Amino acid sequence: MKKLIISVVMVVAMAATASAQFNLGSLKNIAKQVAGDKIDEVVPESVQQLLGIAVKEADIPGTWTYVKAAVEFESENALTAAGGTVAAETVETKIEPMLAKIGIKEGAFSFTFGEDGTFSTKLGSKEVKGKWAYDKKAETVSLSLKEGGKSFTTRMVVSEQNINILFKADGLLELLKSVSSKSSNTTIAAIGAVVKGYDGMNIGFECKKL
């Protein structure tokens, strides 16, 4: 097992230094090819965070509360891993104050995923309910709102002891419109102007489990 851990880390490190064209998506695929089904056992969480490893379905149920904004670049023809990290931090810094304006602050915004496939997201006193389903092949989670028939696709990835719940730009904006008040539309439009300026970006929330 130790040899497999070392092999995965070494392969990822060599791939990252061999070419500036490798990005997080490419490195994640390399790690998976080496570790196979044992990736959750042999790749440390710190490395999984760097690679953007999706959480397992069994880890999703529970209540997850907002900690801060989260961004992930995954486009194969977009930014390098290092460049993507810097750009992600820039976007996070820009949108966190905007999210705070519509009430999304630490402890004030949460997702609850039931083992029965139901979910709810709560912003202050407003709660929106629906259903969730995990797509093992795509490593994504679909969220379908009970009211309005809107649906979104999200990626949930390891982030230290937390998870990042990430959306494409359009999905994030629709979700924000669903959970916030109409008076927040101007702020949501401002968030849209920021996030739509980047290709291959997933954006959302780092959350911790209650």
Asked whether 131 and 184 are in contact (CB, 8 A), the reply is no
Identify the helix (H) or strand (E) that includes residue 125: none
Asked whether 141 and 156 are in contact (CB, 8 A), the reply is yes
pLDDT digits (tens, 9 = 90+) for 120-163: 999 988 999 999 999 999 999 999 998 878 899 999 998 778 99
pLDDT digits (tens, 9 = 90+) for 30-69: 455 555 555 455 444 444 444 558 889 999 999 999 999 9
Domains for the chain: give ranges and CATH numbers: 2-51 (no CATH), 57-209 (2.40.128)
User: What is the share, in percent, of the chain residues with pLDDT greater than 90?
Assistant: 49
Among 130, 172, 170, 127, smallest CA distance to 149 is for 130
Query: For residue 44, what pLDDT is reported?
Result: 47
Q: What is the mean pLDDT of residues 19-35?
A: 47
Q: Estimate to the nearest angstrom the gap between the alpha carbon of 175 and the chain centroid.
A: 14
Alpha-carbon distances, residue 75 vs 22, 26, 95, 104 (angstroms) = 11, 9, 21, 27
Q: Residue 28 and residue 5: Cα distance in Å, rounded?
A: 14
Q: Residue 153 and residue 208: Cα distance in Å, rounded?
A: 20
pLDDT digits (tens, 9 = 90+) for 171-210: 999 999 999 987 788 999 999 998 887 777 889 999 999 9
Encode 93-102: b = buried (16+ Cβ within 10 Å), e = exposed.
Answer: ebbeebbeeb
What's the one-letter identity of residue 97?
A: P
Query: For residue 6, what pLDDT is reported?
Result: 44
The residue whose two tokens read 């994030």 is: 172
Query: For residue 52, what pLDDT is reported?
Result: 59
